[in-house]
Structure 1
């Protein structure tokens, strides 16, 4: 984990079936061995992490979110934010499109993996120290077209 407060990851979405049928190609190049992309021939952008389209959910979670859960357990506030256009892969990466039934583990995104890790780690601490107490507060929000929606209490 870096010493900065904010880290930014880019995850490239694979082409969808419509794009494949139209013979589309990815519009960026990932620079090997660097968290950097090249758009066209002259625009480069550097991130803390760059994940190619074939990256598994576990790797994204392990690199980006798992260290934040460790910090959360240490008492820090953490935020995980997915940002992008409609259809860019935010819902898949966060793992929130799943109905919960018969989901292959490899398809679980950041949110279900974070919840699993958080409570497993808290239970482990409680087993080691029975007097250990904890409270967990979460918010799960979506901002769409200037509307803020509480996904835990959508009314």
Structure 2
């Protein structure tokens, strides 16, 4: 699919062309999006490649729903609304267990909000202070000297099952910050 955007920059007409690999309409199902786009990327991760799935978009456009969706139901099974993250976690564990692989896994969970990095797995500050005054564990975005970018100071949790990861994701998601804007004021 090709999208042509016309705009005027400095009183000059400019056409910009963007190529898309996939296009999903508003009735697209989470499973279909995952199978067509994300599942091949997860297979590349398991083949040893570094991969990233990055959700970017306007407030209220559905990034959280696409990435998280409905995590799981009471029995621990994925719901039809499960997003990219819970489906990827399930796929990774299913493949590793089917291969009888020997592995260890650690989870980190961070939020980038208004150019500030927050560790969503850091221990709770249970004080009665307002949220703005609660002590945050400092984390820093740095280069490691080998050209790789790392986030220093993130909590790492060792995990051994899908449900442990889902529990960490739910704990971290509860700490995420959201702001009301004119775009999402009435959404939900």
TM over 0.5: yes
- Give the aligned partner of residue 104 of structure 2: 135
1:139–1:152: 8 Å Cα contact kept in structure 2?
A: yes
Task: State the Cα deviation string for residues 116-138 of structure 1 (Å, max 9, x = none).
Answer: 00000000011xxxxx4223344
Q: Per the alignment, in what secondary structure is the counterpart of residue 102 of structure 2? A: coil
Structure 2 unaligned blocks of 5 or more: 7-14, 125-188
Q: 1:104 to 1:120 in 2, by over 3 A?
A: closer
Larger Cα Rg: Structure 1 or Structure 2? 2
**Which of 67, 70, 86 is the matching residue for 1:94?**
67
CA distance in 1, matches of 2:55, 2:19: 17
- Give the aligned partner of residue 123 of structure 1: 97
1:147 aligns with 2:116: yes
CA distance in 2, matches of 1:154, 1:106: 32
Question: How many angstroms does 1:44 deviate by?
Answer: 5.2
Which 4+ runs in 1 deviate beyond 4 A?
A: none
Q: Per the alignment, in what secondary structure is the counterpart of residue 118 of structure 1? A: helix
Q: 1:55 to 1:133 in 2, by over 3 A?
A: same
2:71–2:79: 8 Å Cα contact kept in structure 1?
A: no
- Give the aligned partner of residue 45 of structure 1: 18
1:107 aligns with 2:81: yes
TM (norm. structure 2) is 0.52
Q: Per the alignment, in what secondary structure is the counterpart of residue 142 of structure 1? A: strand
- Give the aligned partner of residue 60 of structure 1: 33
Question: How many angstroms does 1:89 deviate by?
Answer: 0.4
Question: How many angstroms does 1:93 deviate by?
Answer: 0.2
Structure 1 unaligned blocks of 5 or more: 1-34, 127-131
Q: 1:82 to 1:143 in 2, by over 3 A?
A: same
1:57–1:109: 8 Å Cα contact kept in structure 2?
A: yes
2:78–2:87: 8 Å Cα contact kept in structure 1?
A: no
Task: State the Cα deviation string for residues 3-58 of structure 1 (Å, max 9, x = none).
Answer: xxxxxxxxxxxxxxxxxxxxxxxxxxxxxxxx234568x76532121111111001
